[in-house]
């Protein structure tokens, strides 16, 4: 059996929002969902994300939920281990106490050993402090580190990882 070497990406709630918003990063997010649908990457989210999406107004709520099914994104379940790890992130001060869901997103992605969290939450998730300290905490829990990327950074990393120059040239 061949091993699946695709990047395993956790899509945090802001990624779904950016699909429907006309902000910087929107085009990259649309491209990411196209790549997920084509099977270039393995997409994951969690019941924490679907819970947050449920609070969105219609028709955005339905549209965002449809992105999950239309792109074969696997919904992971939060559990006691995720709650415990998320609490640890908040107690240490990596994530503010008031940002429970943000800590849960990171915990689920860490426990399921995904490669990266795709997030546009630059206040609590995709920021330097989180990028530096989460791997240290995860290491104490025998968990791997995790990357925090925008959709654009996913493509940049994948291009480097696969050796694709992205310019049509053959470097072999």
- What is the rounded distance in angstroms from the CA atom of residue 172 to the CA atom of residue 170? 6
Tell me the three state secondary structure of residue 103.
helix
Structure confidence at residue 166 as a pLDDT band (50, 70, 90): low
Model confidence at 5, pLDDT cuts 50, 70, 90, reads confident
Which domains are assigned to the chain? 8-161 (3.40.50.1010)
Q: Write down the pTM of the prediction.
A: 0.92
Tell me which of 15-24, 105-114, 162-171 is least confident: 162-171
Tell me the pLDDT tens digit for each residue of 98-137. 999 999 999 999 999 999 999 999 999 999 999 999 999 9
Q: What is the pLDDT of residues 147-157, one digit of tens each?
A: 999 999 999 99
49 pLDDT more than 80: yes
CA–CA dist 71, 12 (Å, integer): 15
CA 158 distance to own-chain centroid: 15
Provide CB contacts within 8 A for 147, sequence distance 6+.
Answer: 115, 116, 117, 131, 157
The answer on pLDDT for 167 being more than 60 is no
């Amino acid at each position: 059996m061949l091993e699946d070497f695709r990047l395993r990406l956790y899509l945090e709630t802001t990624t779904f929002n950016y699909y429907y918003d006309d902000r910087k990063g929107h085009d990259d997010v649309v491209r990411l969902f196209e790549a997920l649908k084509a099977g270039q990457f393995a997409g994951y989210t969690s019941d924490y994300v679907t819970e947050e999406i449920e609070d969105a107004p219609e028709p955005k709520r339905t549209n965002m939920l449809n992105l999950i099914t239309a792109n074969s994104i696997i919904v992971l379940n939060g559990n006691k281990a995720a709650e415990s790890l998320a609490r640890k992130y908040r107690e240490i001060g990596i994530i503010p106490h008031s940002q429970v869901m943000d800590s849960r997103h990171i915990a689920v992605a860490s426990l399921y050993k995904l490669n990266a969290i795709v997030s546009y939450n630059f206040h609590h998730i995709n920021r330097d402090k989180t990028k530096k300290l989460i791997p240290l905490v995860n290491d104490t829990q025998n968990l791997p580190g995790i990357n925090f990327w925008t959709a654009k950074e996913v493509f940049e990393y994948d291009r480097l990882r696969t050796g694709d120059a992205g310019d049509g040239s053959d470097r072999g």
